[in-house]
């Protein structure tokens, strides 16, 4: 019988004796997670429409809404208008009947904002990375992947038939050495523009030079660069003058600064055509939902009209870094190491009790194997908003 409050009363009960092999497998993994302090749970965030009154809830220094656009009127109206025009979903893969005019509009807007020759949208940023890694490689390819590359890049490399080697983080000389030892293989160098744990930037100019020297392609994931780096949030590739470079392929997600969902690959039109025909995460996936496309278009419109949000989020990130006692970061994300996962979780709880929501990275989410507190700057936080939160962070980190 439904709960009169409207809350779900569905209970998932463990089976007893019906599948011993599976039960033993699950129990072993459950015991290991508990022993290592790596249990993860889902915690629902309350609705943000209408926006909470000042002072209510926790100050969010954990989410990825870097520009504070999730409830911006242009973003919300973009999503609503798209649903009214196209319905709740694309209805099929884009190669069947799921290709919509709003997909073309979004891809043109993404290419314009990132100064790229073309773009192809995917249902998630994860899919965009899977597509790029798997479709741009074959058995005669060497993937040189930075040690701090995101899980979606790692998974894309695993799904490819390429040989994969891992380069030391931001070590250009090591990348060059690995490329030089490729034999007769083509080379795909894989990096992030701004890394999601340390918050540092890839040395793009040096990496492009390595790619040119070794006839390689450089794949740059701009997940944490778009909306944050550059005068109008055009990302690190465009801001450093490498947009449209023939050796550079860009991937991104629209679920962070663009306050929507989905991903994209930006590159030469011939790369786009190849992905349409060969990328399984595109060919066999339902097209990006209209609401997500409309929301992302709304966010791009805000940025295109000369918003100061990118500079504001960078300023807030600088204040966070100073409070944490670390060097300034390249984007909106930063982290500090903790002695272990239990200590990291305890710090998250202490911050929540003080009115601040912070993130916690534990293995295997951290490429260096350390448990870390992770903070994200938000452009819609004022200095007044941040002052008490910064005091809380200083207290927690110094504890």
107 contacts 101 by C-beta, under 8 angstroms: no
Neighbours of 102 (CB within 10 A): 25
Among residues 56, 61, 51, the alpha carbon closest in space to that of 387 is found at 61
Helix axes 290-304, 73-86, angle to 10 degrees: 140
In contact, 356 and 61? CB cutoff 8 Å? yes
Residue 15 pLDDT:
53
* Residue where the block lists tokens 């074959």: 138
CA dihedral sign, ordered 178, 253, 61, 378: positive
Question: Given this model, what pLDDT does residue 168 score?
Answer: 97
The structure's pTM equals 0.88
| Residues paired with residue 141 on neighbouring β-strands, in sequence order | 186
Query: Is residue 23 within 8 Å of residue 30, measured between CB atoms?
Result: no
Q: What does 227-280 look like in DSSP terms, one character per residue?
A: TTSSTTSB-HHHHTT-TT-TTEEEEEESSSTTSS--EEEE--HHHHHHHHHH-H
Q: What is the pLDDT along the chain (399 residues), one digit of tens a residue?
A: 334 334 444 445 555 568 888 888 888 888 888 887 777 776 766 665 444 444 456 899 999 999 999 999 999 999 999 999 999 999 999 999 999 999 999 999 999 999 999 999 999 999 999 999 999 999 999 999 999 999 999 999 999 989 999 999 999 999 999 999 999 999 999 999 999 999 999 999 999 999 999 999 999 999 999 999 999 999 999 999 999 999 999 999 999 999 999 999 999 999 999 999 999 999 999 999 999 999 999 999 999 998 899 999 999 999 999 999 999 999 999 999 998 888 999 999 999 999 999 998 888 777 777 889 999 999 999 999 999 999 999 999 886
């Amino acid at each position: 019988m439904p709960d009169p409050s409207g809350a779900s009363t569905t209970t998932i009960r463990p089976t007893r004796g019906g599948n011993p092999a599976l039960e033993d497998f699950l129990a072993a993994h459950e015991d290991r997670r508990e022993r290592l302090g790596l249990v993860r749970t889902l915690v629902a965030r309350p609705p943000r429409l209408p926006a909470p009154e000042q002072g209510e809830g926790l100050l969010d220094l954990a989410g990825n809404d870097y520009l504070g656009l999730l409830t911006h009127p242009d973003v919300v109206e973009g999503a609503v208008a798209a649903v009214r025009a196209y319905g709740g979903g694309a209805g099929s893969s884009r190669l069947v009947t799921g290709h919509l005019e709003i997909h073309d509009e979004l891809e043109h807007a993404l290419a314009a904002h990132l100064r790229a020759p073309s773009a192809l949208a995917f249902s998630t940023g994860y899919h965009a990375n899977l597509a790029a890694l798997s479709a741009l490689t074959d058995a005669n390819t060497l993937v040189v992947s930075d040690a701090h590359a995101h899980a979606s890049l790692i998974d894309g490399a695993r799904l490819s038939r390429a040989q994969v080697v891992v380069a030391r983080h931001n070590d250009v000389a090591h990348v060059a050495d690995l490329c030089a030892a490729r034999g007769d293989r083509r080379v795909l160098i894989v990096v992030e523009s701004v890394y999601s744990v340390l918050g540092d930037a890839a040395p793009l100019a040096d990496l492009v030079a390595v790619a040119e020297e070794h006839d390689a392609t450089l794949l740059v994931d701009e997940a944490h660069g778009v909306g944050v780096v550059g005068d109008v949030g055009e990302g690190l590739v465009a801001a450093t003058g490498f947009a449209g470079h023939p050796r550079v392929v860009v991937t991104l997600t629209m679920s962070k600064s663009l306050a929507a969902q989905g991903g994209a690959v930006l590159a030469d039109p011939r790369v786009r055509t190849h992905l349409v025909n060969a990328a399984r995460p595109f060919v066999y996936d339902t097209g990006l939902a209209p609401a997500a496309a409309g929301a992302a278009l709304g966010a791009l419109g805000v940025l295109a009209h000369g918003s100061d949000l990118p500079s504001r989020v960078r300023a807030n990130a600088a204040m966070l870094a100073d409070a944490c006692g670390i060097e300034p970061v390249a984007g909106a994300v930063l982290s500090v190491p903790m002695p272990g996962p239990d200590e990291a979780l305890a710090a998250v709880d202490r911050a929540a009790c003080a009115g601040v929501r912070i993130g916690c990275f534990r293995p295997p989410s951290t490429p260096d194997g350390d448990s870390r507190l992770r903070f994200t700057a938000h452009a819609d936080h004022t200095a007044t908003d941040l002052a008490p939160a910064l005091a809380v962070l200083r207290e927690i980190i110094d504890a």
